[in-house]
Structure formats: structure tokens, C-alpha cells
Amino acid sequence: MFDEFDEIFDFRFGPFHMGIFPRPFKVSYSRTSESHIIKLKLREDIEKKDIKVRLLEGGVLEIEWPRKKKGEEIPIE
């Protein structure tokens, strides 16, 4: 059921896959007596209008935000 979530908790072992690799976000989980709370720490330059949230079949919550652009765009004529 949660096969696609393996990347979030990326613990690799063996001679070529050792260590924990950083993600573009940090995750924290807490709960109260009445609810569960998941917090994602994104880049500070992300705006509310750029975030898309969808509830998919099977109870999967999908959150999408833009990637950070690297480099400079140079128009080609």
C-alpha cells in the first residue's frame, strides 16, 4: 500500500547506497487526542498560491509545489 512512500524515508545500506540523502523538505508528525498533524517545512520563498493539494483514491494526500530553478534562463533566437 505504501510502496511509493519509500523515498521519503530513504535509508540505504550496502557498499554503493550508504547513508541518508537529504530531501527538499522536512517532515514532522504529532498528534492530539482528537487528530493527527503532519507538517512539511518547505523553502521560505514558496507562496500559498503555488501549492496544490489533492486527496487521491485510497486516502493518499498529494501535495505539489514548484522546484527551485537553478541557473539562469537565456533566450535562444
Give the total number of structural domains in the chain: 1
| Threshold 0.85, pTM exceeds | no
Question: Does residue 11 lie in a domain region?
Answer: no
35 falls within a domain: yes
| Residue 23 pLDDT grade (very low, low, confident, very high; cuts 50, 70, 90) | low
Cell (9 digits) for 28: 514532522
Residue 5 covered by a domain:
no
Question: What is the pLDDT, as a whole number, of residue 13?
Answer: 56
pLDDT tens readout for residues 50-70: 999 999 999 999 999 998 777
Evaluate whether residue 77 is within a structural domain: no
pLDDT of res. 12: 56
Percentages helix, strand, coil for the chain (3-state, rounded to 5) are 10, 35, 60
Residues 54, 64: Cα–Cα separation, whole Å: 9
Angle at the Cα of 5 from the Cα atoms of 40 and 37, rounded to 5 degrees: 35
- Domain limits at 53? 23-68
Output the 3-class SS for 9-41.
Answer: CCEECCCCCCEECCCCCEEEEEECCCCEEEEEE
